[in-house]
């Protein structure tokens, strides 16, 4: 009988309160969670830790979440793998949401985060 793998989630979020809220919610769902806002750690976590789900803020120190989303989708196309990426942002303009989806985001969570809504979406996407 194969072992059940714990879902891995990388949270790329600068706001400590939001990061903690997302992290605690995911840990309650049985996920293994890593949190960072540093660009180099986001890239490293994405490439080497290989999360099942990436929660990506649009405003990160020194980089744009949309630029990272675009970069990760190009990398995945070359590597032959796909990671679910959900954008978490206070910037919920229709144009921004559409751009994130066009770049491959599976969903968009608006800040401040509604925990019940987030939990439902996380359960929908986690393996």
Q: State pLDDT tens for residues 14-57.
A: 999 999 999 999 999 999 999 999 999 999 999 999 999 999 99
Would you list the DSSP string of 32-58?
EEEEE--HHHHHHIIIII--SEEEEES
Q: For the domain that residue 118 is a member of, what is the CATH number?
A: 3.40.50.2300
> Three-state SS for 69?
helix
Q: Is residue 2 part of a domain?
A: no
Secondary-structure breakdown of the chain: helix, strand, coil percentages, each rounded to the nearest 5: 45, 25, 30
Question: Structural domain of residue 18, as residue ranges?
Answer: 8-125
Residue 25 within a domain: yes
pTM recorded for the entire structure: 0.94
- Residue-wise pLDDT for 79-121, tens only, equals 888 999 999 999 888 999 999 999 999 999 999 999 999 999 9
Asked if residue 52 belongs to a domain, the reply is: yes
């Amino acid at each position: 009988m194969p072992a059940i793998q714990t879902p891995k989630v990388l949270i790329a979020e600068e706001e400590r309160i939001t990061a903690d809220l997302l992290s605690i919610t995911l840990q309650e769902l049985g996920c293994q969670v890593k949190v960072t806002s540093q660009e180099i750690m986001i890239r490293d976590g994405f490439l080497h830790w290989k999360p099942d789900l990436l929660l990506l803020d649009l405003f990160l120190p020194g980089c744009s979440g949309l630029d990272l989303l675009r970069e990760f989708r190009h990398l995945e196309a070359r590597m032959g793998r796909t990671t679910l990426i959900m954008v978490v942002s206070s910037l919920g303009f229709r144009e921004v949401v559409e751009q994130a989806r066009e770049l491959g985001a599976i969903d968009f969570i608006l800040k401040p985060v509604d925990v019940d809504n987030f939990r439902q979406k996380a359960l929908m996407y986690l393996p």
